[in-house]
Amino acid sequence: MSSPQYDVVLYGATGFTGGLTAQYLATHPQQPRVAFAGRNRSKLEKVRQGLTKVSKERMESIGLIEASASDKASLTRMAQSAKVVMNLVGPYSQLGGKDVAQAAVEAGAGYVDLTGETGYYAELVEQLHGPAQKNHSILLPSVGFDSMPFDLGAYLAVQEVKKVAGPKAQVELALCGYNIKHTVSGGTIATIVGGRDHPEELGYTRPYWFSPVQGAHGQTVAQARYLPQFNKWGSFSFFTPHNTRVVNRSWGLLEESGDPRHYGRSFEYQEALVTANRIMASAQTKVFLGLTWLLVHVGLVGNMMRKMVPQGTGGSMEEQLKGFADIRTLATAKDTNTKGLSVIQVKGDPGYLKTACMISEVALAVALDYDKLTPMAKQGGVLTPATIGGEIIAERLVKYSDFSIKGLDVSNAKDVSKAVEQAKSIATSS
């Protein structure tokens, strides 16, 4: 059987995030074999011609593929040409995401996307996990800011505990705090608004929706959570329900398989968005919950949001360069004394500019580093960044995307936030 023509095919290259991703792939130091795919060849050609800092030879090496979810034969041809299909055409439940994923499975190709749609993710798990395993196809939904850094952060924090306490250590809690600055695109608005038809997606219920193993913890909204890694308080956010389900899928897959990297039978994941103080955290939680209620119950609100930020639009590059993310996950072992911390930091808008980096590096890990991936990855299925090889992805993000990723033993730290700052100063001086 011949090798696919392309390492990565980018389906949806003409969208807002698609354009950012096209530029990233075209200028990647590894020079992967790339094609842009979509319904309109002339628009694809404009994307290719609009690439910057790309040689004529490199530009001409990038293929163009006409493909549409309304034409399944075209999806088949696209998937057969790729080691990995990158699907950036969302909302996925409305625009044929499952058909694209299914085409990848049938071709034995990998598949990655940026979905934050819980119902769509669950559908992939229920309908394509088994077929993907039969064809050894790796499906990785939600590998942008939803929810890759949260899944990766929890995994790395747990492994820090295991470095100290041994491979059999049981982690009770992974508490993620994050401080971010980002812009909003029309695609994100469309995804959030689409959740009004499926209230469970936006609600903070069913934390084990994606997991093959049901955990012991229910899920309740805390008005405010204290985050020792920041020495600040944090709130609930729109990201929380979906992130929790993705992290718990990693936990469940590792638990079910008896993988030595497993987190622990009584593991629980919690997260909060950093705020100025406890009062602000509580107020912000009420705002998020209020917006969720309005989206579900008042259709006019969603329609207004769509008009304010149309699909296919997003923040200017100047705005995106001002963005950042600081994601710190604190894992506490069952003995309550052993604690590991992962710190993921990046400059640039995490939702768009850096999401293009995240999805690309996950896709390239599958396409170019397949031999380094875990046995679970090679078995195939609907998997997560943590389960296919968290260390490999972290290494790629640091090497190619200007991410800072650190793991710390904070078992004896009286002030975890100071331990982070001390680690930063040591790294700067070394």
Residue 126 falls inside a structural domain: yes
Q: What is the pLDDT of residue 188?
A: 54
109, 93 contact by CB (below 8 A): no
- For residue 261, the model assigns a pLDDT of 96
The verdict on residue 275 lying in a domain is yes
Asked if the model's pLDDT at residue 1 lies above 50, the reply is no
Residue 376 lies in a domain: no
pLDDT in tens, 352-363: 999 999 999 999
Helix (DSSP H) and strand (DSSP E) numbers for the chain: 17, 14
What pTM does this model have?
0.93
Task: Give the pLDDT confidence score for residue 423 in this predicted structure.
Answer: 73
Question: What does the pLDDT average to over 4-8?
Answer: 98
**Encoding tokens for residue 82?**
């790729």
- Say if 377 falls within a structural domain: no
Q: State residue 429's pLDDT score.
A: 41
Residue 368 CB contacts under 8 Å (≥ 6 apart), including other chains: 7, 30, 32
Host H or E run for residue 346: strand 339-347
Same domain, 132 and 155: no
Indicate whether 1 belongs to any domain.
Answer: no
pLDDT at 282 over 90: yes
- Verify that 128 and 178 share a domain, yes or no: no
Residues 200-218, mean pLDDT to the nearest whole number: 83
Give the model's pLDDT for residue 318: 85
Domain for residue 228, yes or no?
yes
DSSP letter string over 302-324?
A: HHHHHHHS-TT----HHHHHT-E
Average pLDDT, the chain: 90
> Can you list the alpha helix ranges (DSSP code H) found in 37-136?
41-49, 56-61, 72-80, 97-107, 118-134
Instruction: State percent of the chain over pLDDT 90.
Output: 77
**DSSP-assigned letters across all residues of 26-48:** HT-TT---EEEEES-HHHHHHHH
First to last CA, the chain: 49
pLDDT at 223 over 50: yes
In a domain, 361, yes or no: no
| Neighbouring-strand partners of residue 342 | 329, 407
159, containing H or E segment: helix 148-165
Dump pLDDT digits (tens) for 13-27.
Answer: 999 999 999 999 999
The predicted pLDDT at position 420 comes to 87
CA distances from 341 to 46, 176, 420 (A): 44, 10, 9
Domain span holding position 125: 6-140
- pLDDT single digits (tens) 141-187: 999 999 999 999 999 999 999 999 999 999 999 999 999 987 655 45
Among 140, 170, 187, the domain boundary falls at: 140
Question: Do 247 and 219 touch, CB atoms closer than 8 A?
Answer: no
Regarding whether 194 and 281 lie in a shared domain, the answer is: yes
In angstroms, what CA-CA distances link 159 with 136, 322, 340, 409, 419?
A: 26, 32, 8, 10, 18
30 pLDDT more than 60? yes
Both 284 and 213 in one domain: the answer is: yes
Q: What is the domain-level CATH number for residue 131?
A: 3.40.50.720
Helix ranges restricted to H, 179-277: 186-194, 199-202, 240-257
Res 309: pLDDT: 53
- What Å distances lie between residue 298 and 198, 239, 294, 303, CA to CA? 13, 21, 5, 9
Q: What is the mean pLDDT of residues 98-123?
A: 96
The answer to whether the CB of 357 falls within 8 A of the CB of 145 is no
Domain assignment present for 363: no
SS3 221: coil
Greater confidence (90 vs 33) lies with 33
What is the reported pLDDT for 291?
76
Domain count, the chain: 2
Burial of 181 (0-12, 13-18, 19+ CB in 10 A): middle
Q: Is the pLDDT of residue 248 over 80?
A: yes
My answer on whether omega of the bond before 131 falls inside 30° of 0, hence cis, is no
If you count them, how many residues does the chain have? 430
How high is the pLDDT of residue 428?
43
One-letter amino acid of 275: T
Question: pLDDT, tens digit, for every residue of 122-133?
Answer: 999 999 999 999
Per residue in 379-405, pLDDT (tens digit) is 999 999 999 999 999 999 999 999 999
Q: How far apart are CA 322 and CA 318, in angstroms?
A: 7
Least confident of 42-56, 204-218, 303-317: 303-317
Single residue among 120, 140, 160 that ends a domain in this structure? 140
Closest CA to 315 of 154, 185, 406: 185
Cα gap 146→202, rounded to integer Å:
14
| Same domain, yes or no: 98 and 210 | no
97 and 170: one domain?
no
Does 302 lie in the same domain as 171?
yes
pLDDT 10s digits, 50-61: 999 999 999 999
Domain match, 165 and 202 both: yes
Enter the tokens of residue 355: 């999401």
- Residue 348: what pLDDT? 95
Q: What is the mean pLDDT of residues 30-58?
A: 97
- The confidence score (pLDDT) of residue 201 equals 59
Lowest mean pLDDT among 71-75, 78-82, 241-245: 241-245
Domain boundary among 122, 140, 158: 140
Tell me: the pLDDT tens digits for 291-334? 776 765 666 655 665 555 555 556 788 888 899 999 999 999 99
**Same structural domain for residues 42 and 111?**
yes
Q: Does 401 share its domain with 252? A: yes
What are the angstrom distances between the C-alpha of 58 and each of 12, 41, 42, 353, 360? 20, 19, 19, 22, 18
**pLDDT number for residue 218:** 75
Domain match, 57 and 179 both: no
The reply to whether 155 and 90 lie within a common domain is: no
Question: Alpha-carbon distance 246 to 387, whole Å?
Answer: 11
